[in-house]
Amino acid sequence: MIRPAELIERKRDGHELGGEEIAELILAYARGDVPDYQLAAFCMAVYFRGLSSAETFALTDAMVRSGATIDVGAALGRRVVDKHSTGGVGDKTSIAVGPIVAACGVPFGKMSGRGLGHTGGTLDKLESIPGFRVELPTDAFLAQVRDIGIAIVGQTADLVPADKKLYALRDVTATVDNVSLIAASIMSKKLAAGADAIVLDVKVGDGAFMKTLEDAEVLGEAMLALGQRAGRDVVCLLTDMDQPLGAAVGNALEIREAVATLRGEGPPDFQELVLHAVAHLLALSDLGVDLDEGRRRAETAVQDGSALAVYERWIRAQGGDPAEAALLSAPVVLEVLAPRGGYVVRLAALPVGIAAVRLGAGRRTKEDPIDHAVGVVCRRKRGDAVVEGEPLAEIHARDDDAAAAAAEAVLAAFELADEPSRARPIVLQTLA
Ligand code: URA
């Protein structure tokens, strides 16, 4: 039996640990045989000393083995694809990507999470659809993916229990932002959920975990290596989060935008990211198509209405009402007007995300309820021209005071200048 204090000491002193040692430590922690204070010290040692790629793989593998796993591919007799985003502001990508992938004939079964800090969560967004259920037993989840082609649900309690404990511990011990720990946390959940091929979307910018392209690349490479070592096909997109994604930030507002995107009427950056991600997912699927053909099929599914039809079937299958009129609207809508004319050269994502949380679109504590109707719609984005007095954004709020406070914060997130800044694409880099 390992002695946790000895492993902590060796990691503290910068030594590499054996895979079996890491596995024993993590599995013992998941069983409750190693206390939080020893794992907290271990995480802090990892934070300062890092983990080698062999150690990171051992950690990920032990986390997967701490609970149940699902073999979706075997259950469906198909190669199954999945996607994951590291989280940002206005990121409703899965809600548009899933129906397009399914409309192209590729099963899309995904377990999603809730909002964390200023970043929204797919489950919270879906729950703004009246009646929508995010909790399905595994057999119902699989049956829905087989019958409708798509299901998005919450992670079941028995999937990677080690991550649930470890993540909560890291959250309160200042050990979240370590590349190996983030990579193991994300990839353990993806591997346990059983997809054969995974498209990872690592967000880069002020609204993301990773603030620089260099850091995002390190995280992307680490996750790619973990996936490949586990025998999965992985592609990692590094995408811009230096401004909110699309226009809408806030739950029901984002559902409306995802639906508009399924009709081909989404904001250009969001529409592009969605089609790009779908093309990669189709190219990794069992359709036997390349990236260009994947892109063509994605565009066709949007143009011919089949993606929207799948969306409606999917929402009904999970108990929801897909009509846009069923979504809640906020009682107060306040426009944020441009104080001068010019070009938007900056629209910081983080203050917009925080403003949306303060309006009630996100949680400040785990127990907080969500106000699904409120949020921010960015009417101008980086590179757009604006005339003095035209709207830069709209605030959707519960009352006038909340709207005024958010309007001030959102206005401060904009920087206007006489000349446009250099354009920056939504997809910054692709790692494969
Ligand atoms: N998301 C996760 O699931 N885990 C992390 O550690 C960070 C982001």
Same structural domain for residues 350 and 389? yes
Per-residue pLDDT, averaged over 276-282, amounts to 98
Same structural domain for residues 131 and 246? yes
Ligand 1 pocket, residues with Cβ under 6 angstroms:
86, 167, 176, 181-182, 185-186
In a domain, 431, yes or no: no
DSSP assignment, residue 130? T
Spatial contact of 343 and 383, defined as CB atoms under 8 Å apart? yes
Spatial contact of 243 and 348, defined as CB atoms under 8 Å apart? yes
Same structural domain for residues 276 and 411? no
Same structural domain for residues 196 and 153? yes
User: Above 90 in pLDDT, residue 171?
Assistant: no
CA angle, corner 330, sides to 326 and 334, nearest 5?
Answer: 140
Same structural domain for residues 355 and 314? no
Choose the weakest-confidence range: 196-210, 219-233, 307-321, 356-370: 356-370
Q: What is the pLDDT of residue 271?
A: 98
pLDDT in tens, 79-124: 989 999 998 999 999 999 999 999 999 999 998 887 767 777 899 9
User: Above 80 in pLDDT, residue 365?
Assistant: no
CA angle, corner 122, sides to 59 and 69, nearest 5?
Answer: 35
| Domain that includes residue 114, residue range | 72-160+175-324
Same structural domain for residues 286 and 196? yes
In a domain, 63, yes or no: no
Same structural domain for residues 304 and 339? no
Q: What is the pLDDT of residue 305?
A: 98
**Crossing angle of helices 53-65/161-171, nearest 10°?**
120
Q: What is the pLDDT of residue 34?
A: 97
- Give the pLDDT band of residue 1 (cuts 50, 70, 90): confident
Q: What is the pLDDT of residue 381?
A: 97
In a domain, 372, yes or no: yes
- Give the pLDDT band of residue 363 (cuts 50, 70, 90): confident
In a domain, 59, yes or no: no
In a domain, 270, yes or no: yes
Same structural domain for residues 125 and 199? yes
Residue closest by Cα to atom 7 of ligand 1:
182
Q: What is the pLDDT of residue 73?
A: 87
Same structural domain for residues 91 and 191? yes
Q: What is the CATH number of the domain that holds 230?
A: 3.40.1030.10
CA angle, corner 39, sides to 38 and 40, nearest 5?
Answer: 90
User: Above 90 in pLDDT, residue 177?
Assistant: no
Q: What is the pLDDT of residue 52?
A: 96
Choose the weakest-confidence range: 149-158, 180-189, 220-229, 284-293: 149-158
Q: What is the pLDDT of residue 420?
A: 95
More confident residue, 363 or 385: 385
Spatial contact of 426 and 202, defined as CB atoms under 8 Å apart? no
Per-residue pLDDT, averaged over 130-135, amounts to 95
Q: How far is the CA of 338 from the centre of ligand 1 (A)?
A: 37
Per-residue pLDDT, averaged over 158-169, amounts to 91
Q: Spot the catalytic one: 114, 118, 125, 170.
A: 170
Is 91 one of the catalytic residues? no
Q: How far is the CA of 179 from the centre of ligand 1 (A)?
A: 10
Pick the last residue of a domain from 272, 295, 324.
324
- How many domains does one find in the chain? 3
pLDDT in tens, 304-320: 999 999 999 999 999 99
Same structural domain for residues 13 and 156? no
Same structural domain for residues 147 and 292? yes
Please state, rounded to an integer, the average pLDDT across all residues of the chain.
95
Q: Which of 314, 337, 175 is nearest to 258 (CA)?
A: 314
Q: What is the pLDDT of residue 427?
A: 98
Q: What is the pLDDT of residue 162?
A: 95
Per-residue pLDDT, averaged over 229-238, amounts to 96
Same structural domain for residues 14 and 86? no
Is 188 one of the catalytic residues? no
